[in-house]
Amino acid sequence: MTYTFITFKCENCADCIPICPVVCISRAETAGGTRRVVIDDARCVDCDACLSVCPIEGAVINYWDAKATGPGRAHAVAPSAEQALEALTNQAYRRSRFDFRMEGRLRLWQTDCATRVVSLFEYVRPSDAAVRRAVLAAREYGHALGRYGCAALESHLTERPLDAAAARRLDAARARCVRCGDAALAASRKAGTEAARLAAEAAAAACKGWNAAHRATRAIAARPSEQPVPHASATCDAETQWQLERLITRLSARDIEDWPLPATSLNG
């Protein structure tokens, strides 16, 4: 069930179709023969990306928006940020199996999540650069996937052979990513604290295409109360909400900056 729906105010401009990260909005023919913008109830994750671009107030609303009203409001249960994040991640991963650009965006999102907890590792091991190198390698590979995907699409549309150099650059970035991921995983075994171990595992996961976001959230939960975490949220719930919003931004194909690495270790 979705709590986001299109009202009679919609003028079918379709601005919401390309912004939807789970591709659940499309045009469909009604019984009267007109084509209307509709939301696929089974796929919508209530991320509100469509609300952010709709030019008409009230054309798209969410039952769980503070200003919205609806007949199901008092009886249904709103999806949590964790549930929405899981649903959106699963949808995106299914799409990424056939789309290099989508895989690149997912990799960059996972790297953003791992970047936010790098300081939890470096607080304990300030002279160990393995986690930092893993984040940089994962970021490089994510961007390489995006460039390769664009080149492959252009090759398909123009019916020209794909430049072999593009494939070699992608293979080189992948190889560095694997090496740095292995090094970060080895560093996690010498981390010393649970928070540092999970932070190192998050960087390794970003390199290997595992769930870096979940490990980053667990690292925040495991940190000692006296250990600062200036580059991430103070609570798991707040970090999950940030991860959801960041994933929506990444999947919307917006040109955004990578999440910055901390300049130096907090304990160095």
Q: Would you list the domain boundaries of the chain? A: 4-62, 82-251
Neighbours of 82 (CB within 10 A): 16
233, 140, 121, 192: CA torsion to nearest 10: 140
Task: Fill in the DSSP letter of residue 258.
Answer: P
Percent of all residues in the chain with a pLDDT value above 70, rounded to a whole number: 82
**In 97-226, which ranges are continuous DSSP H helix?**
100-115, 118-122, 130-158, 164-188, 194-208, 212-222
Tens of pLDDT, residue by residue over 85-122, are 887 787 778 778 778 888 899 999 999 999 999 999 99
Task: Fill in the DSSP letter of residue 25.
Answer: E
CATH of domain 4-62: 3.30.70.20
Q: How many DSSP H helices and E strands does the chain contain?
A: 10, 4
Question: Is the distance from CB of 26 to CB of 59 less than 8 angstroms?
Answer: no
Q: What pLDDT does 140 receive?
A: 95
pLDDT at 134 over 50: yes
pLDDT at 70 over 50: no
Tens of pLDDT, residue by residue over 223-267, are 887 777 777 787 899 999 999 889 888 887 667 889 999 876 444
Whole-angstrom Cα distance, residue 123 to residue 227? 8
Residues, the chain: 268
Instruction: Quote the tokens at residue 162.
Output: 């794909």
